[in-house]
Chains A and B, each alone.
Chain A
């Protein structure tokens, strides 16, 4: 089905210039394809990682001006301009993303907005290079002279040039579509989605949020630069005001309007945005479209009001707005004066009422009409659950040593000079009343907190102060007290995010779909399915993680942590909220994990679970270690009993 659609698309693209002979429409399609390259790239940043870029027009302009300057100053043509522009755009992308994405918040939007302004200024001012406000003219190259091959068509020379250029753009568009599709279906796409769902869990699975966000932005910048070259040669003239802030907003509007996180959406959006100026130049056409939108709104809204009467008022608002917009269009005399207002209203409407965009809306409708067939169950087997990684510590030495760790929040010492020694191959219980510092310890061990003082030594190396994703890479995996799954990914994909570390292939491998990339993807898929099988969730492999019941979510978290091939696994209250049969299953799973040589630290409030499983138990109270030893001894310790049941230490002693 999909293959037929692709072939039909290619065939349509091939015959298009001979079917539609108007140069105007040929040019329109070329510009739509060029804009689509930008929006497909922008979707990686905006749709997948959720960061807003207000500088894509500038990156697009950087690409166009690279081509322009090369042609104007150095007489270097189209084919060399493409790699040059991509490299320049990638460099600018890195320059912006590396500092701006270090902190969470709206920083990337602010920095890219500033970048857009600066680029406009620089292009205007650096007259010696860019010819300033006068702009640069270039000549569309004549790629092949089809007249020698197809003399019977009797094409004029400029028309031949246009058709050849159309094919170059169409091929570029197809190529970008293919590459973006591959990237987003690969581990990179999964990482982009994962880091948006739960940044903390991504970092703790060794998928650095920072690095992947930077990667997404830099790739996206590269696509914008590439599109810039095509644009420069398509228009044959570029000037600084081609690449204004308004264009950046148009790109964002295109992705939002068409529909994020899809390939159809950004292309559809690009088509709308390119056609928009025509629409806003002609008042009659504008009124017709506004009327059409109002009619659709009345029909769709009316149907919804009948179906969902309790939301009648909420549904009425957008319908009334659409009708109001139509009336506004009838009252307007000169549309061009209010072009930007119309533009702004469209953005607001999209943000409010169609956040998933047109394609998202259509897709949801289609899914209701034709439920998709159940996906094939992923096949895993027992042979691929474990990947042996023995810890490298000498016989009799500790795997993990926590040396007088203190973690201070303001005046509060959440951990106060705590010592902890975990021997390889053991299960180490960590208990204590609420607020005793257990979870703080987990966060210190995994690098989420940097301890105020003290050292954490893992396999003989100090790891405190390193980033969570670094520490995950050394072989420490964890689960979370409040479950942190990647809700919108399937169970299988959740685990494959944890398997990110096994891939050796690069972005290039993915883009070219090299044998290595395919082999690694298949191996990871098999391994993930096997891990799912290990925790008994194989049948639900293609379900979205957020749809799982609570107990199963905890099991999935354990499987995902195992995907990291950890030497040390930290379980933070794995039995919380589980039913009695679920707990028995959990105990069984934990034992099997230990039997495969993985060391565990177990935080748990279910005393029976801790006492049956643990080799050693450490008790924390108010940030201090109050007892340590074999379970039976700890249970009998009066200080421990006092901590749990109240009373002062003095009394207990």
Chain B
């Protein structure tokens, strides 16, 4: 094995790691959206991704990939709003942390079970909108879909950010995130804003679902692991930093592919937890998060 060859392997691993990492990042971004407005997050986020991907699979055969996208995004928004309405609103009112965690987990379980009954338990092939033959740059193979994943994920995060900063609705979201009580007193319907943030969050997850499905496979059980990885990313990057999820996603994605190749594919999920514990012990607010000061 020459060193040139091993450099090529390393570059190949980096490329795959970046693509996977961006998917984690975009899901973690969804956690941030709801955490900002309500200090809650959807423990069934992986299932939102899975539903988006499976609905996309059913629609794509009729409409083709590009027309399927807005349909899936709309579906994701509705699904997120349902989760907030059924699982989170009551718990926010009663200030019960256990309440929303349990309720969003329960909804995730129900969604997964329903998906199993509708689409079956097997992994399904998702048609790719782009040629599946890899492009080759200096000996490193890149799937066209991997390029779409990286830029699609970045574009989605950028769009949501621009919306939040520029539009009046987005400003209501930011205001609620800063101080829910004060925003409420200024006439902002904060519970609507929270519902909306859940809709946006599930929309990004559904989008991630149809991005990743052509590269991996899709199926009722695809969500759990991805949702979990995104937790790790959200903690590593910080639950409040947009930059954090991108970098956190890349760190996790690359470490995982490297572990998978150099150690064993069986252990590839382990570094996530190790990183997560390390970051929590060294910098609890995340690599890019800023510590908040609690007021008495």
The answer to the question of A585 belonging to the interface, with a C-beta cut-off of 8 Å to chain B, is no
Contact status of A115 and B273, CB under 8 A, knowing A103-B284, A348-B103, A439-B296: yes
Q: List 30 A-B contacts (CB under 8 A).
A: A54-B105, A95-B277, A96-B277, A102-B284, A105-B39, A109-B43, A110-B231, A110-B235, A110-B276, A111-B280, A113-B228, A114-B231, A114-B232, A118-B270, A118-B273, A121-B266, A121-B267, A125-B264, A125-B266, A245-B224, A249-B105, A256-B98, A340-B113, A347-B105, A348-B87, A348-B106, A351-B91, A355-B96, A448-B296, A449-B293
Closest 8 interchain pairs by CB? A99-B280, A347-B106, A344-B110, A340-B113, A99-B281, A344-B109, A125-B266, A344-B106
The answer to the question of A345 belonging to the interface, with a C-beta cut-off of 8 Å to chain B, is yes
B50 to chain A, nearest CB (A): 14
The answer to the question of B94 belonging to the interface, with a C-beta cut-off of 8 Å to chain A, is yes
Q: Is the CB of B280 within 8 A of A106?
A: no
Q: Is the CB of B98 within 8 A of A50?
A: yes
A113, A252, A448: the one within 8 Å of B294 (CB): A448
Q: In whole angstroms, what is the CA distance A139 to B23 when docked?
A: 47
Q: Is the CB of A345 within 8 A of B110?
A: yes
Q: In whole angstroms, what is the CA distance A439 to B276 when docked?
A: 36
B181 to chain A, nearest CB (A): 14
The answer to the question of A382 belonging to the interface, with a C-beta cut-off of 8 Å to chain B, is no
Q: Is the CB of B296 within 8 A of A480?
A: yes
B229 to chain A, nearest CB (A): 9
The answer to the question of A443 belonging to the interface, with a C-beta cut-off of 8 Å to chain B, is yes
Contact with B along A333-350 (1 / 0, CB 8 A): 000011111011101101
Q: In whole angstroms, what is the CA distance A125 to B266 when docked?
A: 6
What are the residues of chain B within 8 A of A256 when measuring CB–CB? 98, 102
A130 to chain B, nearest CB (A): 12
What are the residues of chain B within 8 A of A481 when measuring CB–CB? 296
The answer to the question of B97 belonging to the interface, with a C-beta cut-off of 8 Å to chain A, is yes
The answer to the question of A46 belonging to the interface, with a C-beta cut-off of 8 Å to chain B, is yes
Which chain A residue has the least Cβ–Cβ distance from B286?
A103
B45 to chain A, nearest CB (A): 11
What are the residues of chain B within 8 A of A96 when measuring CB–CB? 277
Q: Is the CB of A50 within 8 A of B97?
A: yes
Give the contact-size bracket for chain A.
Answer: 35 or more
What are the residues of chain B within 8 A of A110 when measuring CB–CB? 231, 234-235, 276
A202 to chain B, nearest CB (A): 13
What are the residues of chain B within 8 A of A103 when measuring CB–CB? 280, 284-285
Q: In whole angstroms, what is the CA distance A340 to B98 when docked?
A: 20
Number of interface residues of B (CB under 8 A): 52
Q: Is the CB of B97 within 8 A of A340?
A: no
The answer to the question of A264 belonging to the interface, with a C-beta cut-off of 8 Å to chain B, is no
Q: Is the CB of B110 within 8 A of A341?
A: yes
Q: In whole angstroms, what is the CA distance A105 to B101 when docked?
A: 11
Contact with B along A89-103 (1 / 0, CB 8 A): 000000110111011
Q: Is the CB of B102 within 8 A of A345?
A: no
What are the residues of chain A within 8 A of B114 when measuring CB–CB? 341
What are the residues of chain A within 8 A of B39 when measuring CB–CB? 105
B198-255: which residues lie under 8 A (CB-CB) from chain A? 224-225, 228, 231-232, 234-235, 239
A337, A347, A439, A484: the one within 8 Å of B117 (CB): A337
Which one of B41, B105, B231 has the highest number of Cβ atoms from chain A below 10 Å of its Cβ?
B105
Q: Is the CB of A114 within 8 A of B276?
A: yes
What are the residues of chain A within 8 A of B267 when measuring CB–CB? 121, 125
What are the residues of chain B within 8 A of A111 when measuring CB–CB? 235, 273, 276-277, 280
The answer to the question of B86 belonging to the interface, with a C-beta cut-off of 8 Å to chain A, is yes
B145-165: which residues lie under 8 A (CB-CB) from chain A? none
What are the residues of chain B within 8 A of A409 when measuring CB–CB? 293
Q: Is the CB of B98 within 8 A of A52?
A: yes
Which chain A residue has the least Cβ–Cβ distance from B282?
A99
A121, A200, A337: the one within 8 Å of B269 (CB): A121
Q: In whole angstroms, what is the CA distance A107 to B101 when docked?
A: 11
What are the residues of chain B within 8 A of A339 when measuring CB–CB? 113
Q: In whole angstroms, what is the CA distance A447 to B267 when docked?
A: 43
A421 to chain B, nearest CB (A): 24
What are the residues of chain A within 8 A of B225 when measuring CB–CB? 117
Q: In whole angstroms, what is the CA distance A118 to B256 when docked?
A: 13
Q: In whole angstroms, what is the CA distance A115 to B94 when docked?
A: 29
Which one of B103, B110, B112, B296 has the highest number of Cβ atoms from chain A below 10 Å of its Cβ?
B296
Q: In whole angstroms, what is the CA distance A106 to B228 when docked?
A: 13
Q: In whole angstroms, what is the CA distance A637 to B278 when docked?
A: 56
Q: Is the CB of A351 within 8 A of B235?
A: no
Q: In whole angstroms, what is the CA distance A484 to B294 when docked?
A: 15
B169 to chain A, nearest CB (A): 26
Q: Is the CB of B239 within 8 A of A338?
A: no
Contact status of A100 and B110, CB under 8 A, knowing A52-B97, A114-B231, A125-B264: no
